[in-house]
Structure 1
Amino acid sequence: MSAPFARTAPADGGSSVLDTVHGRTVPDPYRWLEDGESTATRRWLEERRREFTEAARGWPMRERLAADITRLLDHDLWSPPLLRGGTAFATLRSPGDEHPRIVALDGGAERTVYDPVAADPGGRTTLDAWEPSPDGSLVAVQTSRGGTERGELQVLRTCDGAPVEPPVPGVRYSHVAWLPPDLGGPAFFYARRDGTDGRRGLWLHRVAVPRGADTLVRACTGPRTVPGVRVLGGRWLLATESHGTGHRNDVWIADLRAVPADAPAWIPVQEGLEAETTADLGPDGMLYLRTTLDAPRRRICAADPAAPSPEGWREVVPEDPEAPLDGFTAVGTPDRPELLVARTRLGVSSLDAHDARDGRRLHAVGLPGEGMVTRLEQGPDGAAHFCYADVATPQGVLLLDPGSARPRPWPSPDAGGRPPSPAARIRRRVLRFRSADGTRVPLTLLSAPESDPGEDGPLLLHAYGCFGRPRQFGFSATVLAWLRAGGRYAVAHVRGGGDGGRDWHRRGARRDKPRAVEDLIAAADALVAEGHATRDRLCLTGGSAGGMLVLAAAGLRPDLCAAVISSAPLTDMARFERMGLGRMWTREFGTAADAGDFAALLSYSPYHLALDGAARRGPAVLLTGFHSDTRTGAAHPRKMCAALQGAGAPALLRYERDVGHGQRAVSRAVALAADAHAFAAERIGLRPRSGGR
């Protein structure tokens, strides 16, 4: 393996800090690195940049991985179309494009409405959200710059892409819900969650009306909630408010045809309940609700939108005790309404059609393989569009006609569409292991049969385990490039994620978050014990909250593996509420204000485990950080790198400016993925092959 990384002495950018929290002394010697713009921090980051550049220069897999990832991305990437006023709108990223663009399709002719690269040739502007008006003449486009994810809404003319007014500021991944044209307009409802003027909530914006005339139609009930808005069926205004990321929300509905749009009369659909509910309007005029109320793996109920309280809900599709219900859409006709229901079993989707009146399963929808169904959307004339991808097949859009069990590609080949095809054969196996408390936890192991180097070859073990999100096996050019190069890839479906529904999530959240770390440690141990891996050929990998998880596992068990990749992680769990969006995540991790929560947080906090000195005996670590990260906050990887290097551990930091936690230009995404996996290849022994791809 390669030589140890360069060590740096504890930095001298400021004095060490000792906090006393709940009677406990907590050291924080690198707090000065929380100031990302200080001279000391900039100097320190420049030293880390030189370290990384020097180390990466010697990784032989770097160029090969970058080239293969780029080849695997060489296809059209469409979003499901939205039909407005006779025009179909979608996003399209063609081969070679840095970002997707919005296109309008009229009679088969494709016209670009908005291209973020044309607006910003430097590639720093991302398209965050968009929604065409009901008649298709306008498109509301939300963009942000430099990775901050704090953006603005622009209203553009469809015919030429020209703006019709100054942008609306202060938005972050806002829903946009256009007012039906016969109720006045053009106008739309949108969510303002950053609170630039101190008022957060749902607003009505009338296009081309002087600034300052937006009307607040529903204020947020608290500082840590996330608002959302939709218009259903051209009549019903639906408002939601999520309580952080705790899988609990409140839902209200208002009849736009009963009162003026700027003064909706809100009727509670769900309020004050420990449940998460989403809604759709069926062709029969009924409100269909996907909910965790009395169903941890979710069920679908029906309600009269004029009297929608839970007391009147009628169960249509019951909970499946083995598979969470991930998505649905209402399709069909008023006299034959149907529900398309997507469920996920350990990362693999199924799609079924149900009779919306009595819930009967009508048929299974045939899918191209064992993959992931996402973005179910109502289509024209009772049809539906959705996205499908699997480990070997890039994402494509499929069209399902009413009553059919066989979807077909969209756009059709006759219209110039090129449906993605599998890029490789992948072997998928599901294993189960016992965690520290005896719980059986599933693990998925992937390999490419034609290039499998053996049962104990280089293996990446990935985990996320937070916010109730299931791990789904869609397409990743990065993972596929790793498999094609002869590596193997495993996913531990640890508690805290959503693979077993809401209960599985809760069993690895808040004070039980250490269970998720224990599950990951047990997964690594099981892979070694059963002969699927050796310690020196095993690398843990995770991003964001999953980046915290892999660092915590390695911090608690320094002998666990040879390497760790941690991208944009949380690391200082004593202060996570003070960085990025951490204040929104107390339902997931707990709060330092509570003594019991704080004790649990410190028990697995990667930063504090590194400060305790065990890291010097641990694996090599690659951290990635993004200066404009407003989610987890860029201070976390900075402080973690300093703590690891200060303890004498082999650690590198790959740090970027002008990008954040979310979307980025394709070339920058490829470079990041190639660097991270070339690091893993170097540390766990994946080598280029002569005559390879």
Structure 2
Amino acid sequence: MLLNRTTAFALACLSLPAALAAQDAVSDDPYVWLEEIQGERALQQVEEWNAETEAKLTGEPEYAIAKAWARQILDDERQIAMPTAIQGDKVTNLWRDKDNPRGLWRIAALDSYLTGAPEWRVLIDVDALGKQEGESWVWHGANCLAPEYTRCLVSLSPGGTDADVVREFDVASGAFVEGGFTLPAAKSNVAWFDADTLMVGTEYGAGSMTDSGYPRQIRLWKRGTDLAKAPQLVEAEQEAVSAGAFSILDGTTRWRFVNVSPSFWTSRVSLVREDGATVALPLPEDADFQDVLGGRVIAKLNSPLEAGGATFAAGSLVSWPLAEIAAGGEAAPSLVFAPSASQALEEVAASEGKLWIKLLDDVSGKLMALTPGADGWTAEEMALPDNSTLSLAAVSGSSDLALVTVEGMLTPPTLYAATPGTAPRVVDSMPAQFDASKFAVEQRFATSKDGTKVPYYIVRPKDADGPLPTLMHAYGGFRAAQTPKYLTAEPYRSGPLALFWLEEGHAYVLANIRGGGEYGPRWHEDALREKRQNSFDDLHAVAEDLIANDLAVADGIGISGRSNGGVLVGAAANQRPDLYAAVISGSPLDDMKRYHKLLAGASWMAEYGNPDVPEDWAFMKEWSPYQNLRDVEGYPATFYYSSTLDDRVHPGHARKMAAKHEELGQPFYFHEYREGGHSVGADHAEDAKRAALLLTFLNRELAGMD
């Protein structure tokens, strides 16, 4: 790995919290030394486990085949050039292929893009830049100032960490601005105030970051002045999650905002006036700010709201007039859209005169265009394929255009251009990467322990008869709905693993358990904190439903989860080792006694609980994977994958689980990548290797192919 002072700084930022955490470790944890991210002893252990896993798996005949096939799929140049943003009459894209593993950030005319044959101009070659600067740069996006979009704040991460470097870039010249705005590697939050002023949250020294490791202070930084002396707009409490800033161009009006997040699920948002003064918005703290359209701020409610003589249901979209708020007057909310009981709002974005909303209806996507009027909002549903997963790729702020992808497990993504009043038109589509006629997909519902109906999707070979070895993927947290994607991308961060598994004659399941956002706020709230067991019960219910319907057998079900899904699969394996035969745990949370002391863990206490509070630990200790791992006959083999440079979920979680498995004599596999951050793979080569390792693991432990 290439190192310079920026990368060294990022690694030091990772090591310090771990070293401090080790000092206050509980005395009965013999593996706390594995929390030293860059510790010599810890990394030596990681390398030993990596070598053992590779020795077991890379010699199998299917490994080399799967790795080569995965790389071919991931590097396929027939992929859709997905828009990263529509910027006036231009569109940007980050293109990755075998020759450009870190990507080309490029720009084209919107009109040419809509023809499906754009003429691209490369702005930044990330691979070439990394070689030139001796850095392992990973692209983290660009924030370009509307409406001209000629100046951008480009974010580049050393090795894929959440911390990144910010540099000002000039689109016209295609070069970084000499003497322009620049920030060193940190978990920064930066937004344009105007062409010569930024709203900046970053590392300002001792006490400037929250307990969760995010900025506490937002300052107003004028070009050419000392950031350390910039006036402060807002400051979050030390125990808060973060402070942030953002700006939105609504027609010709630029609205600026700052927010303080006391917890992961609450925010106090304020409007920033031209003079830098702030005015609090009347949004409930647990509402989700969405966008601004026609001078009205739009938010999604996560609990019922009574205001202005009206009652608004949880899950609804509501708006408030910003001019009245800015003037200090009373601003009454009004209803924008209320979903039905089977629906959930997933994505919201404003174009010139429309509010675009992507809905889930029994986990199937719908796209609506809402138009404000004197008598309320009117809705028009776009005529897109039914029973599909939809994703809003980008909307245009200067016209009423939305770019949306449509896909299914057996249907490759197609990019549509949608405008109200006309039929959506195809811009581009990915060609089929496998023969879908061999498989059948079905949505089914299992009944959980408390009677809740839990949807899941199952894909099997069409000619299958009777039970099959089955891989089941789930998440169950943070309002993140799990919608069916094309099989070359399932499950999350494991590349085409699901496809490879199916091609070998097995079955794949995507379970929509509680904790996600499949049915709006209630689906999430039913798995919060002391209700977390519901998500585990839902997973067990899906597995038992598969067995009851002769689709799988108890010793033939594997489970997969990543990040929060690590809590899920770890708890599930501990509770029902009889039900699961193999476990895939990616970038997992596992030690719930200490998670809040490790990296960004403190930011998630509103989701899980605070283990330092006895009342919270009373329910958390019942399902914390690390504390409940025990010596039990027939414990399922587990594959842990993670990244050394993950500065969100601490790699110590996976390391400590592996050490405990080793102590108990239980089968485990382990692979920690040295780069990649929380997304694990920094490029397609690593993603392909992971897919091949996981397939070989499943064949050995689940399909019985020793």
What TM-score does the superposition give when structure 1 sets the normalisation length? 0.85
CA distance in 1, matches of 2:228, 2:39: 37
Asked if 1:572 corresponds to 2:573, the answer is: no
**AA partner of residue 636 (structure 1):** H
* 1:79-98 alignment, distance < 5 Å: 79-80=82-83, 82-84=85-87, 86-94=89-97, 96-98=99-101
Percent identical across equivalent pairs? 22
**Which of 220, 235, 240 is the aligned partner of 1:204?**
220
Q: Note closer, same or farther for the CA distance 1:224–1:394 as it changes in structure 2 (3 Å cut).
A: farther
Asked if 1:186 corresponds to 2:204, the answer is: no
Asked if 1:660 corresponds to 2:677, the answer is: yes
**Which of 607, 613, 617 is the aligned partner of 1:594?**
613
* 1:584-663 alignment, distance < 5 Å: 584-610=603-629, 612-614=630-632, 616-662=633-679
Q: Offset of 1:133 from its aligned partner?
A: 2.7
SS at match of 1:549: helix
**AA partner of residue 133 (structure 1):** L
CA deviations 1:420-463 (Å, max 9, x no partner) are: 234343532222222223332222212353xx544422211111
CA distance in 2, matches of 1:597, 1:667: 42
- Between 1:339-348 and 1:115-124, the stretch displaced more is 115-124
- CA-based RMSD of the aligned residues comes to 3.0
Asked if 1:489 corresponds to 2:508, the answer is: yes
Q: Note closer, same or farther for the CA distance 1:47–1:350 as it changes in structure 2 (3 Å cut).
A: same
CA distance in 2, matches of 1:137, 1:376: 19
Q: Offset of 1:651 from its aligned partner?
A: 0.9
SS at match of 2:261: strand
Match of 2:302 in 1: 292
**Which of 135, 139, 164 is the aligned partner of 2:152?**
139
CA distance in 1, matches of 2:314, 2:619: 27
Q: Note closer, same or farther for the CA distance 1:296–1:520 as it changes in structure 2 (3 Å cut).
A: farther
Match of 1:439 in 2: 452
Q: Offset of 1:81 from its aligned partner?
A: 5.6
CA deviations 1:196-240 (Å, max 9, x no partner) are: 772623333444556546443222244432324123324211233
**AA partner of residue 241 (structure 2):** T
**AA partner of residue 395 (structure 2):** E
**Number of equivalences:** 638
CA distance in 1, matches of 2:464, 2:683: 33
Match of 1:354 in 2: 370
Q: Note closer, same or farther for the CA distance 1:133–1:361 as it changes in structure 2 (3 Å cut).
A: closer
**Which of 414, 419, 422 is the aligned partner of 2:429?**
419
Match of 2:524 in 1: 505
Q: Note closer, same or farther for the CA distance 1:54–1:91 as it changes in structure 2 (3 Å cut).
A: closer
Match of 1:320 in 2: 340
Q: Note closer, same or farther for the CA distance 1:553–1:85 as it changes in structure 2 (3 Å cut).
A: closer
In 2, are the aligned partners of 1:464 and 1:494 still within 8 Å (CA)? yes
**AA partner of residue 271 (structure 2):** I
CA distance in 2, matches of 1:129, 1:81: 8
Match of 1:534 in 2: 553
In 1, are the aligned partners of 2:392 and 2:402 still within 8 Å (CA)? no
Q: Offset of 1:582 from its aligned partner?
A: 1.0
**AA partner of residue 672 (structure 1):** R
**AA partner of residue 299 (structure 2):** L
**AA partner of residue 103 (structure 1):** R
Q: Note closer, same or farther for the CA distance 1:143–1:484 as it changes in structure 2 (3 Å cut).
A: same
In 1, are the aligned partners of 2:186 and 2:203 still within 8 Å (CA)? yes
CA deviations 1:468-493 (Å, max 9, x no partner) are: 21112234142334334433211222
CA deviations 1:327-371 (Å, max 9, x no partner) are: 122345xxxx43322111344311122332223333333248612
CA distance in 1, matches of 2:647, 2:385: 37
CA distance in 1, matches of 2:510, 2:611: 30
Asked if 1:465 corresponds to 2:483, the answer is: no
In 2, are the aligned partners of 1:90 and 1:102 still within 8 Å (CA)? yes
CA distance in 2, matches of 1:85, 1:433: 47
Match of 2:544 in 1: 525
Unaligned runs of 5+ in 2: 1-21, 113-117, 210-215, 305-311, 490-494
Q: Offset of 1:173 from its aligned partner?
A: 6.6
- Between 1:554-563 and 1:214-223, the stretch displaced more is 214-223
CA distance in 2, matches of 1:81, 1:30: 42
In 2, are the aligned partners of 1:327 and 1:376 still within 8 Å (CA)? no
Asked if 1:401 corresponds to 2:416, the answer is: no
What TM-score does the superposition give when structure 2 sets the normalisation length? 0.83
Match of 1:78 in 2: 81
Q: Note closer, same or farther for the CA distance 1:473–1:178 as it changes in structure 2 (3 Å cut).
A: farther
In 1, are the aligned partners of 2:188 and 2:202 still within 8 Å (CA)? no
Asked if 1:177 corresponds to 2:192, the answer is: yes
Q: Note closer, same or farther for the CA distance 1:474–1:244 as it changes in structure 2 (3 Å cut).
A: farther
CA distance in 1, matches of 2:386, 2:103: 25
Match of 2:286 in 1: 275
Q: Offset of 1:664 from its aligned partner?
A: 1.7
CA deviations 1:516-568 (Å, max 9, x no partner) are: 12221222222112211112321111111101211111111211121111111
Q: Offset of 1:590 from its aligned partner?
A: 0.5
CA deviations 1:56-98 (Å, max 9, x no partner) are: 1343332232233233331334343645465433333346431
CA distance in 2, matches of 1:637, 1:391: 30
CA distance in 1, matches of 2:281, 2:346: 20
**AA partner of residue 590 (structure 1):** G
Match of 2:213 in 1: none
Unaligned runs of 5+ in 1: 1-16, 180-184, 410-417, 689-693
- Between 1:313-322 and 1:226-235, the stretch displaced more is 226-235
* 1:114-153 alignment, distance < 5 Å: 114-121=124-131, 124-134=136-146, 135-153=148-166
CA distance in 1, matches of 2:56, 2:628: 25
CA distance in 2, matches of 1:512, 1:535: 26
Match of 2:212 in 1: none
CA distance in 2, matches of 1:222, 1:77: 43
Match of 1:67 in 2: 68
Asked if 1:165 corresponds to 2:183, the answer is: no
CA deviations 1:386-436 (Å, max 9, x no partner) are: 344433455554322343241431xxxxxxxx5323434353222222222
CA distance in 2, matches of 1:366, 1:462: 27
Q: Offset of 1:673 from its aligned partner?
A: 2.1
